[in-house]
Amino acid sequence: MQYRHLGHSGLQVSALGLGTNAFGKRADFEESKKIIHYALDHGINFLDTANIYAGTESEKIIGQVLEGNRQSVVLATKAGLPKGTGVNERGSSRYHLQMELEGSLKRLKTDYVDLYQIHTFDPGTPLEETMRALEDMVRAGKVRYIGASNYFAWELMKALGISDRFGLNRFVSTQVSYSLADRTPENELVPMCLDQGVGIIPYFPLAGGILSGKYGKGEKAPEGSRAQTDPSFQRFLNERTIGLGDRVSEVASQLDCTPSVLSLSWLIHQPVVSTVIVGASKVEQLAENLQSASLELSAETLNELETASDSFRHGEPFALYRLP
> What average pLDDT score do residues 189-211 get?
96
The β-bridge partners of 273 are: 200
> What average pLDDT score do residues 181-196 get?
98
Q: What are phi and psi of 273, to 5 degrees?
A: -85, 130
Decide if 297 is inside a domain. yes
Q: What are phi and psi of 298, to 5 degrees?
A: -75, 165
Decide if 17 is inside a domain. yes
**pLDDT for residue 321:** 95
List pLDDT tens digits, range 296-315: 999 999 999 999 999 999 99
Cβ burial of 224 (10 Å; 0-12, 13-18, 19+) is exposed
Cβ burial of 30 (10 Å; 0-12, 13-18, 19+) is exposed
Q: What percent of the chain has pLDDT over 70?
A: 93
List pLDDT tens digits, range 32-61: 999 999 999 999 999 999 999 999 999 999
> What average pLDDT score do residues 97-103 get?
98
Decide if 322 is inside a domain. no
**pLDDT for residue 66:** 97
List pLDDT tens digits, range 221-232: 565 555 444 555
Angle at 79 between CA 75 and CA 83, to 5 degrees: 130
Tell me if residue 53 is catalytic: yes
| CATH code of residue 37 | 3.20.20.100
Q: What are phi and psi of 144, to 5 degrees?
A: -100, -40
How many Å apart are CA 37 and CA 32, to the nearest integer?
9
**pLDDT for residue 259:** 97
pLDDT of 129 over the 80 cut:
yes
Catalytic residue among 38, 53, 151, 215: 53
**pLDDT for residue 280:** 94
pLDDT of 294 over the 70 cut:
yes
Sign of CA dihedral 109, 111, 116, 118: positive
**pLDDT for residue 238:** 77
Helix axes 94-108, 57-66, angle to 10 degrees: 40
- Following DSSP, what letter does each residue of 129-156 receive, concatenated? HHHHHHHHHHHTTSEEEEEEES--HHHH
- Could you tell me which of 292, 288, 258 has the C-alpha nearest to residue 273? 292
Decide if 252 is inside a domain. yes
Give the structural domain span for 14. 3-313
**pLDDT for residue 237:** 75
Confidence band for 220, pLDDT divided at 50, 70 and 90: low
How many domains is the chain partitioned into structurally?
1
The SS3 call for residue 275 is coil
Cα distance between the two ends of the chain:
39
Q: Which residues of the chain form beta strands (DSSP E)?
A: 3-5, 12-14, 16-19, 46-48, 74-79, 113-118, 143-149, 171-177, 199-203, 276-279
> What average pLDDT score do residues 89-111 get?
98
- Could you tell me which of 18, 21, 61, 17 has the C-alpha nearest to residue 226? 21
Confidence band for 208, pLDDT divided at 50, 70 and 90: confident
Decide if 324 is inside a domain. no
What value does the mean pLDDT of the chain take? 94
Beta-strand pair 171-177/199-203:
parallel
**pLDDT for residue 228:** 45
Decide if 320 is inside a domain. no
Give CA separation, 164 vs 20, 94, 132, 176, in Å: 33, 20, 12, 23
> What average pLDDT score do residues 237-257 get?
92
